[in-house]
Amino acid sequence: MSPARPTLLELVVKTAVTHAVTYTIVGLLASSLLDYTRFFAESSLNLLMRPTSDPWVMAGPLFQPLRGVMFGGVFYLLREPLFGKRSGWLVMWIALAVIGILGTFGPAPGSIEGMVYTTLPTWVHLRGLPEVLLQSLSLSLLLSYWVHHPEKRWLRWMMGISFSVLLSFPVIGLLVGQPR
């Protein structure tokens, strides 16, 4: 990696796009495969999680670019270990998994704090882990590949189109679902 690469702007934009795309795709797959509608309604999560029909849940992907911008800023500060080595994707994934999933400061489901301080059964904590581990892995792999291969125009186009299409779905759903 050259000292000038990646730039702050490049990394923030690529991270925001990659995070939003991987978050939405993995979230849709997990919601369908793990039947989150029923799981949230019939488990002790019904006191914690909004129903999947809630407009805020539908709007969730629209907030992910902001989260991606925050991640991108941190990744820029850590760009040498994350993008200066071939195994940087693994360093990124381990950091996201340990700090952002398992070792959160708050009692989030799936975290050590959540398992200690909440009354949620262990199986509830473990059921959501595959989704967040897969999404953080996807983010790490795809972002690292994109940063290391800026010449791949097809990837820039694919990510831009995916980002636009995937974020248009919640907007359309929210507009259509609103009573007039």
- Which pLDDT tens digit goes with each residue over 111-157? 999 999 999 899 888 998 999 999 999 999 999 999 999 999 999 99
Burial class (CB in 10 A: 0-12, 13-18, 19+), 6: buried
Per-residue pLDDT band at 180 (split at 50, 70, 90): low
Residue 2 falls within a domain, yes or no? Answer: no
Residue 100 falls within a domain, yes or no? Answer: yes
- Amino acid type, 126: L
The stretch 71-87 carries a mean pLDDT of 96
What is the domain count for the chain?
1
- How far apart, in whole angstroms, are the C-alpha atoms of residue 129 and residue 34? 11
- How far apart, in whole angstroms, are the C-alpha atoms of residue 46 and residue 36? 11
Residue 129 falls within a domain, yes or no? Answer: yes
Residue 120 falls within a domain, yes or no? Answer: yes
Residue 1 falls within a domain, yes or no? Answer: no
Domain extent, residue 31, equals 8-177
Residue 22 falls within a domain, yes or no? Answer: yes
Residue 60's closest CA among 97, 30, 99? Answer: 30
Give the pLDDT confidence of 32-42 residue by residue, as tens digits. Answer: 998 888 888 88
Residue 150 falls within a domain, yes or no? Answer: yes
Residue 166 falls within a domain, yes or no? Answer: yes
Contact 158, 17 (CB under 8 A): no
